[in-house]
Structure 1
Amino acid sequence: MESLNLIKNDPWLAPYKAAIEGRYQYVVDKEKSLTNNGRQTLSELASGYLYFGLHKVSKGWIFREWAPNAKAIYLIGTFNGWQKDDRYKMNRQDNGVWEIVLEEGLLHHEDLFKLLVEWDGGSGERIPAWIRRVVQDEQTKIFSAQVWAPENPYNFKIKKFKPNTAPLLIYECHIGMGSSEEKVGTYSEFRKNVLPRVLKDGYNAIQIMAIQEHPYYGSFGYHVSSFFAASSRFGTPEELKELIDEAHSMGIAVIMDIVHSHAVKNEIEGLGRFDGSYNQYFLSGERREHPAWDSLCFDYGKNEVLHFLLSNCKFWLEEYKFDGFRFDGVTSMLYYSHGLGEAFCNYGDYFNGHQDGDAIAYLTLANKLIHEVNKNAITIAEEVSGMPGLAVKYEDGGYGFDYRMAMNIPDYWIKTIKEKKDEDWHPSSIWWETTNRRADEKTISYAESHDQALVGDKTIIFRLIDAEMYWHMQKDDHNFIVERGIALHKMIRLSTASTINGGYLNFMGNEFGHPEWIDFPREGNGWSYKYARRQWGLVDNPDLKYHFLGNFDEEMLALISSVKNFQDTPIQKVWDNDGDQILAYMRKDLVFVFNYNPTKSFTDYGFLVPKGEYEVVLNTDATRFGGFGLSDDSIRHFTQFDPLYKGEKKEWLKIYIPARSAVVLRKVKAKATTAKAKTINSKTKK
């Protein structure tokens, strides 16, 4: 076999050629076994949701389920008093498949039901694995499947949508938290109240968490029970579809946070012991339960499980028109250890035989399938170990993700804020962390996501300001701690967003420094929703300082979006000096200058840049962003000739840089300069 491009592009991978090629061949062989040696496509294979589950047909209903260990299955529900009834007894087919055909009138829209599954030695009520609608009774808190066949199903206005990925600017969000009221927000409220904010702020994608049904609201959607059901606590399937359609009409892509790394342990609500066996969907023995997450681990080596998960990917793309997925917990899938206790210090740690080849094959096939179904789909891996090839094309020997999360960056910022004095913030270190990535893989950079906002942790703004936020966020209240926090909040975000090579992500509300942590209703807080919402009134209030951060975020994204394919433009370091705490770099015609020094401002600080005229296009210290306005940003800056650099076509750009601030300058195009000169000459002559 000729070396794969993954190996060709990284000579350090050459010693692991056999392992990389072995993984690649394993995927090839697995795809052949799934598709009957290529007689059908992956997309055709992954249409299980059209066969399994409940479907309305011309003369009634048909329902199918896979339960190889079952001896008998009955549908029980509101239509038969929740009792065993031979009219609703399923028939066993081949390969552990069960089927029942029901006449018109035996089921109705919004009927509640479950399966009564019997096996040798026991029985239990179960929610169908392929069901598309699950609801919870408000009084009893019991979950049931629901027949969902409205007379007027939602009809998408926008049939095809192409996401804008130049660059990809993601607003990570949670529907239930989207309300400012102390309650669970809805799909419709999010569509009406939050989407317009996302559009105004300049994000071109939303990444929605907790879509797949989960029994415990406080799990943040990570303990999934029903993989094909959109969570009913936020509304109906039609309302979710309308939200996605509305987002598309605004030019906003909709990415789903999909959880295929594990499943909730619940047996009545979830897939645990669905047919009475322990290993229908999940691994056996010690590997069945996740050691850290109190959940069950899928058996990716079983073709029926791959069929279930691949069909789940296609279902969300086709039925709801999601534009792609952020795969959660990829590190946990890649390694037998789930990445727990692993250091990942060198390349050998990725090829030492501790990797789960079946999980790797599933992730690769999932990416291949997703892009087969929708060539413009977006896939993102949440992965912390740094596994090479994760965001490299399948045909080049990679796993096929479009992006990987740059999870080192938020860890770096939190560690810096917690452990270092302001005088010890080194620009060389900041530059390294924000630009250190594999050349052949695109990343999603972010300063903080929902992970950094959970109770027990703190958001960046709360770490910087803490309790002072409760007393000193009035616009005219001057407080050193608050002013420091606001200044660094903007600089941290600009450092992160301006160095992207793929996309940028922010969690809902963090753009304006949403106070406090996220804490879902639980017994420990009296089942309160106080910290499981977004206080939009804070950023909307002109008398508070939150709008300064919101305004900055909006202008920062507008600047990035103004450069065509900003993410692909080369990043050239111009200068860094850890003593002065100054960092400067260029992207195309933009010069980014940071002064992390907490006390020293610099006059006529010089950098060698392409000669010409430069204008200020963004300044963190501007008064409209809550800064001191120490610079006159209307002044244009001209480079100064230095004979020592005559052959390099560079000259000195000397500017005033206030302490703890950043400024972005743009080189004025020659035509604009010439036109301005002509105007001045014309006025002089008159």
Structure 2
Amino acid sequence: MPDQPQLIKDDPWLEPFEAAIQNRLDRFTRTLGDIESSAGSLAAYATGHKFTGVHFQPSAAQWMIREWAPAAKAVSLIGDFNGWNRETHPLAPAGGGVWQLRLPADSLKHGQRVKLHIVGADGSRRDRIPACIRRAVQDPASNDYSGQIWNPPEPYVWQHRFDPSVIEAPLIYETHVGMAGEEPRIHTYREFADQILPRIVAAGYNTIQLMAVQEHPYYGSFGYHVSSFFAPCSRFGTPEDLKYLIDTAHGLNLAVLLDIVHSHAVKNTAEGLNDFDGSGNQYFHHGGRGDHPQWDSKCFDYSKPEVRQFLLSNVRYWLEEFRFDGFRFDGVTSMLYHSHGNKAFGDYGDYFGGDADDDAILYLQLAAKLIQDLKPGAIAVAEDMSGMPGLCRPLPDGGIGFTHRLAMGIPDHWIKLLKHTRDEDWDLGELWGVLANRRFGEATIAYAESHDQALVGDKTLAFRLMDKEMYWHMGLTDPDPIIERGIALHKMIRLITLAIGGEGWLNFMGNEFGHPEWLDFPREGNGWSYHYCRRQWSLVDSPNLKYQWLAAFDRELMKLATDRQLLSAAPAQLLYLDHEKKLICAERANLIFVLNFSTDGSYFGYPLQVPGMETRRIVLDTDQPQFGGHGRIDADSEYPVQADGIMQIYSPSRSGLVFAKIQS
């Protein structure tokens, strides 16, 4: 009988589900063994993109075109090279559902547009984009997408090497290239590299997360309705431009994550994979199970080896071709359950019953192993709100293998508090419970808000706190009480969330300085406007506006996290919680955090029981004038500990203090 998985040893409440956990581990082990027997290794197996697609083979002086379309009746290559003639260049069956065509070296040229004409199993005749195409472009006149031959005569020459294992705790700057500039238009990879990356470095972050990179036909989908999984979004530039961005980031010691979408795909037949061979279920589940009603998209059939190989090859492609340092996997909750997670998770049985999608879990296990095989130390973040046990535990422990999970409940809690509860009535015990709630041994990315909270129809923290007053009262000399409250709470929310909430941090671009308003993609409902689909850096750059205060505080917060290795330390320990005075005190990484959420209560000589007898000093104070505060505390003061372990402090209202031991 196999030894009990470490996951269960660490959490005995999982013992009733040992069989389910062991079965997942056994199935992964068997599948991996089969793959290694047939392909030699998982990495070698994940090379489907090198077999199918449109490839120039220099050694044979030929082009090889292959496509997996097992139920198709006929496949032919069409494009600029043959006047889009559907009869002249048929592909022939080559076994295993693959169609194949060889062409002389001079048949296709870099930059030419191509498609496949597929006669489907149902008799349909459609022009389709090859599934593994490396570039897809939109015709500005017709808006139709085509594949594009991408074989530049001078391939990109990389200048920098980067090892993601140097990132002990990721401080993630979540970004979208297209909206990263201030002008009301789509911005480019190179503009981002030259203009935005220096801002991110100066802000103190060590990781960027690129959204909307995989090609998607509708800009307003935020990149989550992917059509061509191997093609970098052409709106922002060429594949070489994306490589320049990543290379530049590596030169600045930034890790780069891809927001990868393997949870679903666009349902479009003209641009995407839907009904590719006319069978109705080539890449996706047949019938209703293949539809994602909430997202209006298609659901992959992870039970098919060919689909798993396609997605695994996609993982390898982005890691190798573009040198990404890991991924943020979108929609993992939707993948893990047949119900897509649309239910309450009340006990452990919800994670291991009939609703769990074992095929999706197997795929995620394989993907997690492949990532570490190809790039040890890579970051793999799961967007999961269900709390699946073991999601971020190593595979040998009985886990699924991600390195981090997003703490999705934290921003939801902040929104609930700010929308429905007066400051005076905040339940700090509940707040501590939400911030500290995570599974043993499973690293979490904490965040107070992301792009989700910035979308039209919702509000960023800054806009929720200050709303329309931001339009009129953000001048340095304007003492507006709503703005004062908003700035104070904005800093405190970020401080306590980072200190307690996880082992990593995430911020959406601009939120660190309180970017006003929401973001809204061009659409018919707003007259196709880019007004809200950009970032107003001039606000934080202005010496006359208060945004600079929030940016300065965030820089110090990132510096504190880095210098003190805060997020690599053990979880925070609650020292004291004063419900009446609205005070919460905690310790982490030998730092003492004191947050006073009282609206008007400032406490002199407040007695705080602390661990250790060392004298302390303040290393971060949200109330400092350079952060827009009142400067009520002398930054040079020292705080000795009395014989009874009490440290007396002054805690001003609506402020956060961080104390560190004075080094002798």
Q: Per-residue displacement from partner, 1:523-575 (whole Å, max 9, x unpaired)? A: 00000011111001011111011110000000011011111464224522221
Tell me what 1:13 maps to.
14
Tell me what 1:57 maps to.
57
Tell me what 2:129 maps to.
127
Matches within 5 A, 1:640-651: 640-642=642-644, 651=645
SS in 1 for 2:164: coil
**1:490 matches 2:491:** yes
SS in 1 for 2:82: coil
Distance (whole Å) between structure 1 residues aligned to residue 454 and residue 601 of structure 2: 32
Distance (whole Å) between structure 1 residues aligned to residue 284 and residue 574 of structure 2: 49
**1:112 matches 2:117:** no
Matches within 5 A, 1:585-664: 585-609=586-610, 610-642=612-644, 651-664=645-658
Distance (whole Å) between structure 2 residues aligned to residue 63 and residue 251 of structure 1: 39
Letter in 1 for 2:515: H
Tell me what 1:291 maps to.
293
Alpha carbons 2:35, 2:41 under 8 Å: kept = no
Q: CA deviation at 1:447?
A: 0.4
Paired-residue identity, %: 51
Letter in 2 for 1:250: L
Q: CA deviation at 1:180?
A: 0.6
Letter in 1 for 2:44: E
Tell me what 2:406 maps to.
405
SS in 1 for 2:500: coil
Q: CA deviation at 1:329?
A: 0.5
Q: Per-residue displacement from partner, 1:639-661 (whole Å, max 9, x unpaired)? A: 2333xxxxxxxx22111111111
Alpha carbons 1:67, 1:275 under 8 Å: kept = yes
Q: CA deviation at 1:85?
A: 4.2
Letter in 1 for 2:466: I
Given candidates 249, 252, 262, the residue that maps to 1:250 is 252
Q: Per-residue displacement from partner, 1:112-171 (whole Å, max 9, x unpaired)? A: 111111135221000000100001112211111001111111111224423433221000
Alpha carbons 1:164, 1:253 under 8 Å: kept = no
SS in 2 for 1:392: coil
Letter in 2 for 1:54: V
**1:522 matches 2:523:** yes
Unaligned 5+ residue runs, structure 2? none
Alpha carbons 1:455, 1:519 under 8 Å: kept = yes
Distance (whole Å) between structure 2 residues aligned to residue 260 and residue 133 of structure 1: 18
Q: CA deviation at 1:501?
A: 3.8
Alpha carbons 2:164, 2:379 under 8 Å: kept = no
Alpha carbons 2:119, 2:126 under 8 Å: kept = yes
Distance (whole Å) between structure 1 residues aligned to residue 169 and residue 605 of structure 2: 34
Tell me what 1:192 maps to.
194
In the superposition, relative to structure 1, how do residues 163 and 515 fare at CA in structure 2: closer, same or farther (>3 Å)?
farther
Matches within 5 A, 1:333-344: 333-340=335-342, 342-344=343-345
SS in 2 for 1:107: coil
Q: Per-residue displacement from partner, 1:605-633 (whole Å, max 9, x unpaired)? A: 11122223211111111110011111221
**1:148 matches 2:150:** yes
Distance (whole Å) between structure 2 residues aligned to residue 122 and residue 285 of structure 1: 18
Letter in 1 for 2:373: E
SS in 1 for 2:365: helix
Alpha carbons 2:80, 2:112 under 8 Å: kept = yes
Given candidates 230, 239, 242, the residue that maps to 1:240 is 242
Q: CA deviation at 1:84?
A: 2.1
Distance (whole Å) between structure 1 residues aligned to residue 423 and residue 626 of structure 2: 24
Alpha carbons 2:332, 2:382 under 8 Å: kept = yes
Distance (whole Å) between structure 2 residues aligned to residue 389 and residue 249 of structure 1: 35
SS in 2 for 1:79: helix
In the superposition, relative to structure 1, how do residues 570 and 293 fare at CA in structure 2: closer, same or farther (>3 Å)?
closer
Distance (whole Å) between structure 2 residues aligned to residue 21 and residue 346 of structure 1: 19
Distance (whole Å) between structure 2 residues aligned to residue 664 and residue 386 of structure 1: 30
Distance (whole Å) between structure 2 residues aligned to residue 588 and residue 204 of structure 1: 19
Alpha carbons 1:158, 1:245 under 8 Å: kept = yes
Distance (whole Å) between structure 2 residues aligned to residue 52 and residue 616 of structure 1: 60
Tell me what 1:310 maps to.
312
Q: Per-residue displacement from partner, 1:443-484 (whole Å, max 9, x unpaired)? A: 000001111111111111111111111111111111111110
Which moves more between the two structures, 242-251 or 56-65?
A: 56-65
Letter in 1 for 2:217: P
Which moves more between the two structures, 324-333 or 424-433?
A: 424-433
Distance (whole Å) between structure 2 residues aligned to residue 652 and residue 485 of structure 1: 32
Alpha carbons 1:487, 1:660 under 8 Å: kept = yes
SS in 2 for 1:417: helix
Alpha carbons 1:382, 1:405 under 8 Å: kept = yes
Distance (whole Å) between structure 2 residues aligned to residue 160 and residue 549 of structure 1: 31
Matches within 5 A, 1:319-468: 319-340=321-342, 342-468=343-469
TM-score, normalised relative to structure 2 = 0.97
Q: Per-residue displacement from partner, 1:12-45 (whole Å, max 9, x unpaired)? A: 00011111111221222232344446x6111110
SS in 2 for 1:94: coil
Matches within 5 A, 1:79-118: 79-86=81-88, 88-118=89-119
Distance (whole Å) between structure 1 residues aligned to residue 199 and residue 166 of structure 2: 18
Distance (whole Å) between structure 2 residues aligned to residue 300 and residue 575 of structure 1: 48
Letter in 1 for 2:4: S
Alpha carbons 1:201, 1:553 under 8 Å: kept = yes
SS in 2 for 1:280: coil
Distance (whole Å) between structure 2 residues aligned to residue 569 and residue 69 of structure 1: 54
SS in 2 for 1:498: helix
Letter in 2 for 1:51: F
Q: CA deviation at 1:420?
A: 0.8
Alpha carbons 1:288, 1:296 under 8 Å: kept = yes
Distance (whole Å) between structure 2 residues aligned to residue 36 and residue 98 of structure 1: 25
Q: CA deviation at 1:105?
A: 1.8
Letter in 2 for 1:181: E
**1:667 matches 2:661:** yes
TM-score, normalised relative to structure 1 = 0.94
Tell me what 1:47 maps to.
47
Q: CA deviation at 1:222?
A: 0.4
Unaligned 5+ residue runs, structure 1? 643-650, 672-686
Alpha carbons 2:162, 2:250 under 8 Å: kept = no
Alpha carbons 2:372, 2:378 under 8 Å: kept = yes
Q: CA deviation at 1:579?
A: 0.8
Distance (whole Å) between structure 2 residues aligned to residue 383 and residue 536 of structure 1: 31
Q: CA deviation at 1:60?
A: 2.9
Distance (whole Å) between structure 2 residues aligned to residue 232 and residue 180 of structure 1: 20
Matches within 5 A, 1:135-284: 135-284=137-286
In the superposition, relative to structure 1, how do residues 399 and 28 fare at CA in structure 2: closer, same or farther (>3 Å)?
same
- Aligned pairs, how many? 659
Alpha carbons 1:501, 1:568 under 8 Å: kept = no
Alpha carbons 1:208, 1:254 under 8 Å: kept = yes
Distance (whole Å) between structure 2 residues aligned to residue 167 and residue 445 of structure 1: 11
Alpha carbons 1:501, 1:567 under 8 Å: kept = no
Letter in 2 for 1:13: L
Distance (whole Å) between structure 1 residues aligned to residue 277 and residue 365 of structure 2: 29
Letter in 1 for 2:292: H
Distance (whole Å) between structure 2 residues aligned to residue 119 and residue 555 of structure 1: 59
